[in-house]
Structure 1
Amino acid sequence: MEFTAGKLNKFLFFKLPSAFFCGVRVKKIDLEHCIVTVKHRWINQNPFNSMYFAVQAMAAELSTGALVMYHIKRSNRKISMLVANNKGNFTKKATGRIVFTCKDGHLIEDAVKRTIETGEGQTFWMKSIGMNEKGEQVSEMDFEWSIRVK
């Protein structure tokens, strides 16, 4: 089975329905990058007329986690994955369509190889940047992923 944005969005519907109903969608994924979007709407707003921080976190986490899933699938091994830590900075109100981009695919390939070779768990940090339609950064989220061969 090919790993595509459409199949990830179907996965969201069945496995992460809260993200799906809030409007989180994968737009593009390849070995190095993942792009996820979410539009500010009534269902995902906070009392201050912007996007609720947790919705931004869902979209940002998906942009990193989908890359981890992609590399695990390519390894043809059973590898578990878990968010161990996260950090977030919010610099501007999130309104309109927000695009979260992670460009850290290169970090995963090395960690997958090491966990397969050693059998030991590996951790690594990945960053996702959220930009509004004007090209302004609204948030920056970092996720520490932990992977280990099952």
Structure 2
Amino acid sequence: MTVADTPQAAAFRRQVLIPLKLRLFLMQKLPMAWLAGLRLRQLTPEQAVVTIRFKFLTQNPFRSIYFACLAMAAEFASGIQAMMHVQAGGPVSMLVVKLEGDFTKKAVGLIAFTCPDGPLIAQAVAESCATGEGRTVVCTSTGVDEAGDVVAIFRLTWSFRAKC
């Protein structure tokens, strides 16, 4: 399923793909994401890629990335897509209502979370705007290390409700 790219979504993408502007946004609205060093590597109407690196502020006592930092990166990969698609429509509230995670390997180095659920998010936002009712979407963010091995898979359930 392809997603129609709206001028509002394209403008949002241009803004957040400028590293300085994204860092300022993170400092103001998501300071923990800024401290953890989240980076937005790719944002299209279909998917987003967010990276997090093992460092002092993201470590756990077992010399890997703390699970909450991994969850934050996974949530941001789906959340930035949701923000982009909400910009394209009317006022819509968005909220994570459920989070599940599977951890398959120790997370060290640079971990890239990819969420390919842009079309599902766009459809839910559009349906909520059209009907005025809430919609939920289960987004999957998969974290891969530098060797290409999957380290974690998160499933985030987002709720969208039009505020009209």
Displacement of 1:5: 2.3
TM-score under structure 2 length normalisation: 0.87
Counterparts of residues 8-47 of structure 1 (less than 5 Å): 8-47=22-61
SS in 1 for 2:121: helix
1:72 aligns with 2:86: yes
Q: Aligned with 1:83: secondary structure?
A: strand
For 1:58, the equivalent position in structure 2 comes to 72
For structure 1, which segment, 5-14 or 49-58, has the greater mean C-alpha deviation from structure 2 after superposition? 5-14
1:107 to 120, 125, 139: 120
Determine if contact 1:9/1:26 at 8 Å carries over to the other structure. no
| Structure 1: gaps (5+ residues) | none
Q: CA contact under 8 A between 1:64 and 1:102: conserved in structure 2?
A: yes
Q: CA deviation at 1:120?
A: 0.4
Give SS of 2:146's match. Answer: coil
Distance in 1 of aligned mates of 2:23 and 2:50: 10
Query: C-alpha distance in 1, partners of 2:59/2:33?
Result: 13
User: Aligned partner of 1:11: which letter?
Assistant: F
TM-score, length basis structure 1: 0.95
Q: Secondary structure at the match of 1:51?
A: coil
Give identity over the alignment, percent.
Answer: 44
Give the total of aligned pairs: 149
Moved over 6 A (4+): none
The match for 2:152 is 139
Contact 1:100 1:129 in 2 (8 A): yes
